[in-house]
């Protein structure tokens, strides 16, 4: 299309256009708005799928490292699912997260993708916090 053929967008008055794959002239602002509407329309569905995947990866990983259908803390044997977390056995979790560029729920997926390396164990949040802060857990009488 020749520059002389480009007209202002009737909606925005913009001359910021591009030619799409079918050789149609498109207003960039109109297309941006259309994309936002589509994103909003599908956001809930996408978030639900992401949560489903995170929950699945977490469950599989905790079950694997507990070597049990019902995950449990390797220190105090806590089984309340919401209290459980993945812990780096030798510590250095911050270093590992920086190395692989992941944290949170994505670490569960990383463990699955890397054939469950033996660097993790399952701890409840209390035991995990105690090991992180003090180097031992009060449940373990040998500290």
Averaged pLDDT, 9-24: 66
Residue 5 lies in a domain: no
Average model confidence (pLDDT) across the chain: 83
Tokens coding 108: 């569960």
Residue 107 has pLDDT above 50, yes or no: yes
Residue 83 is classified by DSSP as: G
Q: 130 pLDDT band (50/70/90 cuts)?
A: very high
Residue 39 has pLDDT above 80, yes or no: no
Residue 10 lies in a domain: no
Residue 1 has pLDDT above 50, yes or no: no
Answer whether 74's CB lies under 8 Å from 66's CB.
yes
Going 28 to 46 to 58 to 129, the CA torsion angle's sign is positive
Q: 32 pLDDT band (50/70/90 cuts)?
A: confident
Residue 121 lies in a domain: yes
Residue 26 lies in a domain: no
Residue 50 has pLDDT above 60, yes or no: yes
Residue 108 has pLDDT above 80, yes or no: yes
Cα-based angle 22, 23, 29 (whole degrees, multiple of 5) = 95
Residue 143 has pLDDT above 60, yes or no: no
Give the number of domains in the chain: 1
Averaged pLDDT, 63-80: 95
Answer whether 72's CB lies under 8 Å from 79's CB.
yes
Residue 83 has pLDDT above 90, yes or no: yes
What is the domain range of residue 127? 55-134
The predicted structure's pLDDT at residue 78: 95
Residue 107 lies in a domain: yes
Residue 35 lies in a domain: no
Tokens coding 5: 């053929």
Annotate 78-89 with b (16+ C-beta within 10 A) or e (fewer). Answer: beeeebbbbbbe
Answer whether 119's CB lies under 8 Å from 110's CB.
no
3-state secondary structure of 123: strand
- Residue by residue, DSSP assigns 56-123 as HHHHHHHHHHHTSSS---TTT----GGGEEEEETTS-HHHHHHHHT--TTHHHHHHHHTT--TTEEEE
Residue 43 lies in a domain: no
Residue 3 has pLDDT above 60, yes or no: no
Residue 9 lies in a domain: no
């Amino acid at each position: 299309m020749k520059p002389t053929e480009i007209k202002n967008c009737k909606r925005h008055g913009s001359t910021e256009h591009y030619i799409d794959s079918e050789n149609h002239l498109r207003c960039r602002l109109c297309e941006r708005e259309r994309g936002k509407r589509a994103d909003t329309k599908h956001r809930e569905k996408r978030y639900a799928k992401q949560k489903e995947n995170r929950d699945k990866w977490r469950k599989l990983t905790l079950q694997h490292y507990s070597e049990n259908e019902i995950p449990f803390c390797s220190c105090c044997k806590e089984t309340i699912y919401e209290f459980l977390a993945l812990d780096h056995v030798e510590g250095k979790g911050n270093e590992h997260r920086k190395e692989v560029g992941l944290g949170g729920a994505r670490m569960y997926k990383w463990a699955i993708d890397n054939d469950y390396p033996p660097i993790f164990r399952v701890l409840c949040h209390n035991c995990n916090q105690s090991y992180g802060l003090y180097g031992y857990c009060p449940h373990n009488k040998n500290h």
